[in-house]
Structure 1
Amino acid sequence: MIRERNKFGSNRLAVLGTVIFIFTVIVILKLAYLMIVKHDYYIALANNQHYANTELNPNRGDIYLQDYKEPDKLYPYATNRKYYLVYANTIEVKYPQDILTKLVAVLKIEDEEEQDIILQRLIKEDDVYEPLKHKISEEEMIQLAEYELPGIYFEEENWRYYPENAMGSQLLGFVGYTDAGYQGQYGLEGYFNEELSGIKGQLSSSRDSGGRIIPTGDRVYETAKDGFNLVLTIDRSLQFYTCSMLAKHSIKYGAENGTVIILNPNTGAIMAMCSYPEFDPNNYNEVEDIDIYNNPAVYSAYEPGSVFKAITMAIALDQEKVKPDTMFVDTGEVTIGKYTIKNAEGKIYGEQNMSQVLEKSINTGAIWAAQQVGLDKFNEYVENFGFGEKTGITLTGEVSGNISSLAKKSDIYLATASYGQGISATPIQLVTAFAAIANGGKLVEPYLVDQIVFDSGLVEKNEPSIIRQVISKKTSMTLSAMLASVVEVGHATLAGVPGYYIAGKTGTAQVINYQTGEYDADKTVHTFVGFAPINNPQYVMLTKFHHPSNVEFAASSAAPLFGEISKFLLNYLQIPVEK
């Protein structure tokens, strides 16, 4: 019996020891968790008990448009506007349904789902800060305040505001909420988000055990630094007119979308950039398809078609393989291996010179000129013109296009590339390449920001950048005259403006169907790229329509849009009549 009792006592002692051991381990682990894992949390909690911390938000930088006629005058393109947040301290709310009725009436809240959300927030228990509606105007705030609704308060807040609404919206982008907070997205707002956002400041003050600020206590103050202001190279009047005309003509031709870029060929400064359709960045969340946020000027690479014949001719001229009067005989088609390439509409032109190849947009003539150069040298020039790489323009979403077919060392790819098929380019690449034709052969870097104005008031001027010499000045002048004949007597007469010599080239490109691998007979892309005046070019412009439904060729769509905008622009810039 004594042995059994001792055995029982020993077992009980062992169990007790095990329990104490486990408890000790748990305590040690808990202490380790609190001291190591949650260390920063409790330090912050302690600091919050002794300090009042306030985050100081900087003002987001503004974006401005220029006025070419009054250089000292700027127009806000993106700015900040004061609004109010209406919120509830639900502890004080007495009649939530009555409050909802007044909110609905004053703020014109018609959505029943939104009304229900607000009501649910009003009836929450013990919530001292329940946001009900952002972005209400000062007039609406005053009207609601006059009701003296128990538990209803207002807080001032800044919101991004776009005075020009939808004008050039893909260029501009917008500011909206993301997982990372209030951020610039797409366009200039997205690209320069960090610079525009500024740097937050902080105010930290000592407080007593009751939570009250101690006037003579410790205080840390870090000033918020406002974001930079951007002054764009774009002229407001030109931008407005260009975007309006693009929308008008896109609707007229039944196009899915359209693009216009106007660039100073001597500096690379963008004078106007528009897309159709547009969206209102003030209400960016009301779009049906978020693809509309992308800027097709830099985001959409496509097979450019016959506008590329100007690049082909530039290469052949610069290599001294052809002259404007060099003759070739067109039989209407060219056979390369198993492929036969024909002219548009199956036309046969017979004996033609190189100027006529451009005037009549002869596919076989472009192929012949490219063959005189050879694939390797042709590819080298195409790369030097900037195709196959990004231009570096300060916009989100730029793509590089695709000229990889030229690296395949195949005669068929040289042939198709000569008239702008089988390779892809973006509108910004095309207009930059044509700028080199216009300005004496120099590839310039396109840019949108003329000045950066820092928080300190310091102004940084953006200087033009020449990337490289692509063709000789002689080639530039010769080709400019050839392209002027395209507008004077060729396919692009509708791009002309009475009294001026305008150079340019049309392009009606087929569109590949990636499901079948064949070109779609019912879909085309129309492009015109040109510049004026040819003796002293002040602008180069690209006009483009994607899938126009009721016009067959670019000569009847992109060319007349170019002509209409050019008529305005030549007058606006006060360029003297040439003829």
Structure 2
Amino acid sequence: MDIKRAATNKRALMLLVCFLVLFLVLCGRIAYIQAAKEVKGQDLSAIAEQRWQKSQVIEGKRGTIYDKNGDAVAEELQSYSVYAVLSEDQVSHVRDPEETAEKLAPLIDLETSELKRMLEQDKFQVELGSGARNLSYEKMTEIKELELDGIHFTKQPRRYYPKQMYASHIIGYTERDMAVARMGLERSLDDLLSPENGSIQYDSDHKGIPLPNPNNTITPAKDGDDVFLTLDSNIQVALEQVMSKVDEEYSPKKMTAIVADPKTGQILAMSNRPSFNPNEYESVENYTNYAVSDRFEPGSTMKMFTVASAIEEGVWNSEEKYKSGSYQVDSEYEISDHKKGGLGHDLL
């Protein structure tokens, strides 16, 4: 019995020793992890921050372009897109595809049959095509008032040109989401107009809900700069109307017109044909602003400036005559009137 008791005590002692060794190893490992904050090369602090610390972008606003009277000609607005939830697991889902399609299709530029087909798909949710994107607040409200089950909205900023075809070649356009500026002042002044997004970093619980923390890190967004033009809306609208009338009556290949303040040289209006509506930039046919890209020889209309300069310099003689025809500059070059033989000796 003593031998058995001794063997039992020995095994118990060995188990105790093993337990103590494992316990000490475990404690040592825990202490090491707490000190090093690293396991198998993985930074535990970084993992914890990724899991509990969230970051959210604070979007800045693109600058507005105004005319000289302070009326917006290019601005950022909120737009809305429509999507449909189809999954029956969701509380709000499309319950009657046919009725929903009949009511919604005319408002998003879709055939009723096509929309019905989309709403009958075996999907969680579906986008409803280009006609359901970039909707105005008024259009969104009109759809919302239909109270259709499963029809929801997302909100996003977009670039909008309230005066439509007004001075479109001068202003240019950006893509609707303002990711890329394509032409005109929108492109050349993009660095000034573009905003700088900010951010907010906060701690959250396991569901992603922000925790009350006065130490949240906030980097404010910086809106883009506003731009004021010399264009006068009243003159610009009048010019556009005249250009459209001439275009309809004579159908020229191209036209350009400029209205400038003679005292300051400020451009009060500028227009081209063909023109375009920057809100519908997919249909642009002419990207050229002829007023600044093409050469134009004004001819005799510039003579008044020559005469004015002569008067201002005190060298004007109203009785003096000039030789019409041609002048030989040297053995190689000759300058002549439009009529090379001359127009006679005329007074200026």
Shorter-chain TM-score category? 0.5 to 0.7
Per the alignment, residue 282 of structure 2 pairs with 285
Higher-RCO chain (CA-CA 8 Å, sequence separation at least 6): 2
Shift of 1:168: 1.1
Aligned AA (1:104) = A
Shift of 1:152: 2.7
- Give the direction of change, closer, same or farther, for the CA distance of 1:310–1:184 in structure 2 (3 Å limit): same
Aligned AA (1:327) = Y
When the two structures are superposed, what TM-score results if normalisation uses the length of structure 2? 0.67
- Give the direction of change, closer, same or farther, for the CA distance of 1:252–1:140 in structure 2 (3 Å limit): closer
Distance 2:112 2:331 in 1: 65
Distance 1:94 1:293 in 2: 44
Is the 8 Å Cα contact of residues 200 and 216 (structure 2) preserved in structure 1? yes
Question: How large is the RMSD of aligned CA atoms in angstroms?
Answer: 4.4
Deviations 1:28-69 (A, max 9, x none): xxxxxxx99xx9xxx9987553233222222222222234xx
Aligned AA (1:58) = G
Aligned AA (2:291) = A
- Give the direction of change, closer, same or farther, for the CA distance of 1:305–1:63 in structure 2 (3 Å limit): closer
Per the alignment, residue 77 of structure 1 pairs with 73
Distance 2:211 2:254 in 1: 62
Aligned AA (2:65) = I
Per the alignment, residue 453 of structure 1 pairs with none
Is the 8 Å Cα contact of residues 206 and 217 (structure 1) preserved in structure 2? no
Distance 2:250 2:341 in 1: 26
Distance 1:147 1:233 in 2: 45
Percent identity of equivalent pairs: 23
- Give the direction of change, closer, same or farther, for the CA distance of 1:224–1:144 in structure 2 (3 Å limit): same
Distance 1:274 1:216 in 2: 56
Deviations 1:255-311 (A, max 9, x none): 322222233354442222222232111222223x2xx233222222x2526258649
Per the alignment, residue 27 of structure 2 pairs with none
- Give the direction of change, closer, same or farther, for the CA distance of 1:165–1:338 in structure 2 (3 Å limit): same
Deviations 1:66-106 (A, max 9, x none): 34xxxxxx322222333321124454455584344443133
Per the alignment, residue 198 of structure 1 pairs with 195
Aligned AA (1:225) = K
Aligned AA (1:255) = P
Aligned AA (1:107) = I
Aligned AA (2:195) = G
Kindly indicate whether residue 140 of structure 2 is the aligned counterpart of residue 141 of structure 1.
Answer: yes
Is the 8 Å Cα contact of residues 121 and 130 (structure 1) preserved in structure 2? no
Deviations 1:339-381 (A, max 9, x none): 998754776423234x2xxxxxxxxxxxxxxxxxxxxxxxxxx
Distance 2:305 2:141 in 1: 66
- Give the direction of change, closer, same or farther, for the CA distance of 1:65–1:303 in structure 2 (3 Å limit): closer
Per the alignment, residue 103 of structure 1 pairs with 104
Per the alignment, residue 330 of structure 1 pairs with 325
Deviations 1:101-124 (A, max 9, x none): 443133333599xx57x9659836
- Give the direction of change, closer, same or farther, for the CA distance of 1:48–1:119 in structure 2 (3 Å limit): farther
Is the 8 Å Cα contact of residues 90 and 130 (structure 1) preserved in structure 2? no
Deviations 1:454-480 (A, max 9, x none): xxxxxxxxxxxxxxxxxxxxxxxxxxx
Aligned AA (2:110) = I
Kindly indicate whether residue 155 of structure 2 is the aligned counterpart of residue 161 of structure 1.
Answer: no
Shift of 1:330: 2.8
Aligned AA (1:304) = E
Kindly indicate whether residue 249 of structure 2 is the aligned counterpart of residue 238 of structure 1.
Answer: no
Per the alignment, residue 272 of structure 2 pairs with 275
Distance 2:47 2:81 in 1: 28
Counterparts of 1:449-464 in structure 2, within 5 Å, are none
Per the alignment, residue 288 of structure 2 pairs with 294
Distance 2:180 2:229 in 1: 20
Is the 8 Å Cα contact of residues 325 and 337 (structure 2) preserved in structure 1? no
Deviations 1:471-502 (A, max 9, x none): xxxxxxxxxxxxxxxxxxxxxxxxxxxxxxxx
Is the 8 Å Cα contact of residues 51 and 205 (structure 1) preserved in structure 2? yes
Point out where structure 2 has 5 or more consecutive residues left out of the alignment.
Answer: 1-39
Distance 2:226 2:259 in 1: 23
- Give the direction of change, closer, same or farther, for the CA distance of 1:45–1:305 in structure 2 (3 Å limit): farther
Per the alignment, residue 546 of structure 1 pairs with none
- Give the direction of change, closer, same or farther, for the CA distance of 1:139–1:232 in structure 2 (3 Å limit): closer
Distance 1:310 1:45 in 2: 78
Find the partner of 1:123 among 90, 98, 121. 121
Aligned AA (1:294) = T
- Give the direction of change, closer, same or farther, for the CA distance of 1:145–1:351 in structure 2 (3 Å limit): closer
Per the alignment, residue 33 of structure 2 pairs with none
Distance 2:149 2:57 in 1: 28
Shift of 1:193: 2.0
Distance 2:142 2:298 in 1: 60
Aligned AA (2:269) = A
Kindly indicate whether residue 297 of structure 2 is the aligned counterpart of residue 304 of structure 1.
Answer: yes
Is the 8 Å Cα contact of residues 61 and 195 (structure 2) preserved in structure 1? yes
Distance 1:44 1:147 in 2: 48
Point out where structure 1 has 5 or more consecutive residues left out of the alignment.
Answer: 1-34, 68-73, 356-579
Aligned AA (1:295) = N
Is the 8 Å Cα contact of residues 96 and 122 (structure 1) preserved in structure 2? no
Distance 1:155 1:266 in 2: 50
Per the alignment, residue 352 of structure 1 pairs with 346
Distance 1:251 1:105 in 2: 31
Shift of 1:170: 0.8
Is the 8 Å Cα contact of residues 94 and 119 (structure 2) preserved in structure 1? no
Per the alignment, residue 54 of structure 1 pairs with 56
- Give the direction of change, closer, same or farther, for the CA distance of 1:225–1:55 in structure 2 (3 Å limit): same
Distance 2:112 2:274 in 1: 27
Distance 1:155 1:261 in 2: 42
Aligned length: 299
**SS of aligned partner of 2:152:** strand
Is the 8 Å Cα contact of residues 205 and 217 (structure 1) preserved in structure 2? no
**SS of aligned partner of 1:327:** coil
Shift of 1:176: 1.0
For the pair shown, which has the larger CA radius of gyration, 1 or 2?
2
**SS of aligned partner of 1:238:** helix
**SS of aligned partner of 1:214:** coil
Shift of 1:154: 1.0
Kindly indicate whether residue 86 of structure 2 is the aligned counterpart of residue 86 of structure 1.
Answer: no
Aligned AA (1:66) = K
Find the partner of 2:209 among 190, 208, 212. 212
- Give the direction of change, closer, same or farther, for the CA distance of 1:260–1:46 in structure 2 (3 Å limit): farther
Is the 8 Å Cα contact of residues 58 and 201 (structure 1) preserved in structure 2? yes
- Give the direction of change, closer, same or farther, for the CA distance of 1:176–1:311 in structure 2 (3 Å limit): farther
